[in-house]
Structure 1
């Protein structure tokens, strides 16, 4: 077999392959055997029909077609290996010539990974990230959120006011018809929380138990998500929320600490760790953006279109479905036009593909290896984010043949960590940011989300 590679553009090649007919013999033998098992000819036992009889009864062309279909993948893969190509997706194959007992020639056009020129080093990358600063307001807000969790409620016989917890029944109508999924009873709602429908706070404020009101609001979910409905709300009970006093007794009630000062100190420590994690993630994202800006990365158009379609399908049929929204309702909620959505989707897809190409090239350049412990830790994180147990997730990964995908995600995260370590990262105060081992975990997690995009 002889093959030649013609570069059509930086991401697409055409392979021309010539195969001597004798190399087709194993596939021809397999074709005769397969046809033998599928047909019957009077006077011959099944599986014992001579080749010449098959040619006479069913045509030599049918045998050749079966043999070529069986042989083409093998010859194509040999040509890919010979040309040292990294194909993306399935090839478009065209049989150029087939001479019985002489030769076979075909072409195969396929997208390939572009050859990238990476920088010699990454010390020229400089990014700025938010400084890690925990204010007194941050601490107070954290303690207040904890305080809210331990609030108590007391039934009252008065009109509902801001901050009260009301028990309500809801009924939604469109064009005078009650929606099948538009009725709810015994719903607990804190006035002013903004957790239900727009306009409900004004509707229930001032109502006592037994009172009701009607208002118009756009539905956030359900069969009529995004449509305006007439909402009738009836208050069945009003309760006053009482927050615990901020003192040592509260600290002992809400935590393992004996004093309020110890609780606040712990809140400050946790907030600092969270902000440092966020800072590391921000550093990784900005270094990645800078890296993408430094490298010319051509994107195969078909791969891009496939990626856009995949993202759109996942959004419409998985994410939005769980939220009870369709695409039209989603766009309305996001205040985006269809054109803006398509442009944003394309931009995200382009970035995802470029990210994967660059990080995979870095993995090869840096000779990044993935250990079993690293893969297990990554699997545990992915399982947690998917809502599955580690055993369930691991089984799904193995059965779906996705282990190499997870290995690739970890390797890309490690490769990106190499770049972040070499880059100059400063905070908004002009101070150099040193990322420790725990921060690198944040980088790996963020890198995996980038690779998932492509």
Structure 2
């Protein structure tokens, strides 16, 4: 077999392959054997039909077609290995010549991973938010904990903001009660904004037994988006009572003995959360700078496939589970179709470039993934998916996704190398040391940017 490679552009090549006919012998034999098992010829036992009879009855062309289809994948793989290129996706194959007994020639055009020069990232500088936890932040955190331990007690007075009312609802459109527009015994906290627009004003001031009618645009159901006349009847009013903020509350709501200890723990937890957010922000901004420094061509066909994949996943998985159409989603987001298309393309470009660049850095720095690192990553992915580690591992193996997980860990290690080399300062001018940050967190940042682009891209 002879092959040659022609570079069409930085992300696409054409392979030209010529194969002497004798190299097709195994595929020809396999073709005759396959046809033998599929056809019946009077006077011959099944599977024992001579090749010349198959040629006469079914045509030599059918045999050649079967043989070429069998041989092409292997011949293409040999040509790719010989040319030392990294193909992306499926090739476009064209049989240019097929002379029976003499020669098979074909071309294969395919997208490839572009050659990327890793830029000098040692001079990258980014600014991140400073870690600041105020007394107000701590009070808000403790107040949220206090809210969780609130109790409700029935009261005989008009309902006010913060009260929990039990209500019956009836919605009409054009004077007709909707089939799904009646609900009884609904518990609602006034001011929470969790139900219909206008309901807070309608129930405020009503006592048990009182009712009011208001107009509201329905957010779901059979008449979604239409204005409805809603009648609400209050059947009970209850006041929410918060526990006193004292040592007794601290003992009830936590493992601490005093309120001061509880507040100190809240402050520490908030600091840890802000530190995690700061590290994530640093990784995202360093990655942005790193991408800006590199020249990374993106294959057009690969980009088209990635954009289509993202659209499909959004429409048929994410939005489908929420019962939303793409049109309704864009309406809620306040975006036009053109804006959505441009945004999706921009995200796809960034995802592809992120994978290309970090994969190249993995190769350059010879970053290996240890079994322990892969196991830890698998455990975290399992936890986020809601599956047990054993179930997740089984699904990964059966789906052939182990290389994908290895790639995720490796890219996280690559991004961690860049982040460690960068200068990161906060808004107060203080240098932020991220050398001890978890590579797993960097991996999550890298994967968020790549947005789960397929491993074989």
Native 8 Å contact 1:217 1:230 kept in 2 = yes
Write out per-residue CA displacement over residues 137-182 of structure 1, whole angstroms, 9 at most, x where no aligned residue. 1101101110110111011122211001112233444444544444
| TM-score (normalizing by structure 1) | 0.96
Native 8 Å contact 1:222 1:325 kept in 2 = no
> More deviation in 87-96 or 393-402?
393-402
Aligned-residue Cα RMSD (Å) equals 1.7
Matched, 1:97 2:97: yes
Write out per-residue CA displacement over residues 306-363 of structure 1, whole angstroms, 9 at most, x where no aligned residue. 1111111111122122222221221121111111111111111111111111111111
| TM-score (normalizing by structure 2) | 0.95
> More deviation in 439-448 or 157-166?
439-448
Write out per-residue CA displacement over residues 206-229 of structure 1, whole angstroms, 9 at most, x where no aligned residue. 222233333333444445555544
1:278-357 matches, cutoff 5 A: 278-357=277-356
Tell me which residue corresponds to 1:83: 83
Using the alignment, how far apart are the partners of 2:86 and 2:223 within structure 1? 48
Task: For residue 292 of structure 1, give the secondary structure of its aligned residue in structure 2.
Answer: helix
Tell me which residue corresponds to 2:64: 64
Matched, 1:123 2:125: no
Tell me which residue corresponds to 1:11: 11
Native 8 Å contact 2:5 2:13 kept in 1 = yes
Provide structure 2 residue ranges, at least 5 long, that are not aligned to the other structure.
none
Matched, 1:430 2:429: yes
Using the alignment, how far apart are the partners of 1:303 and 1:182 within structure 2? 47
Tell me which residue corresponds to 2:387: 388
Using the alignment, how far apart are the partners of 1:373 and 1:223 within structure 2? 52
1:26-425 matches, cutoff 5 A: 26-119=26-119, 121-222=120-221, 224-425=223-424
Summarize the Cα distance change of 1:333–1:425 in structure 2 as closer, same or farther, 3 Å threshold. Answer: same
Using the alignment, how far apart are the partners of 2:147 and 2:97 within structure 1? 78
Summarize the Cα distance change of 1:400–1:169 in structure 2 as closer, same or farther, 3 Å threshold. Answer: farther
Write out per-residue CA displacement over residues 270-306 of structure 1, whole angstroms, 9 at most, x where no aligned residue. 0000000000000000001111111111111111121
Using the alignment, how far apart are the partners of 2:332 and 2:127 within structure 1? 32
Using the alignment, how far apart are the partners of 1:10 and 1:182 within structure 2? 60
Using the alignment, how far apart are the partners of 2:176 and 2:19 within structure 1? 71
Using the alignment, how far apart are the partners of 1:77 and 1:193 within structure 2? 62
Using the alignment, how far apart are the partners of 2:225 and 2:397 within structure 1? 40
Summarize the Cα distance change of 1:296–1:44 in structure 2 as closer, same or farther, 3 Å threshold. Answer: same
Using the alignment, how far apart are the partners of 2:436 and 2:372 within structure 1? 15
Using the TM superposition, give the Cα deviation of residue 198 of structure 1 relative to its aligned residue in structure 2, in angstroms: 2.3
Using the alignment, how far apart are the partners of 1:264 and 1:358 within structure 2? 44
Native 8 Å contact 1:280 1:439 kept in 2 = no
Summarize the Cα distance change of 1:124–1:222 in structure 2 as closer, same or farther, 3 Å threshold. Answer: farther
Using the TM superposition, give the Cα deviation of residue 438 of structure 1 relative to its aligned residue in structure 2, in angstroms: 4.4
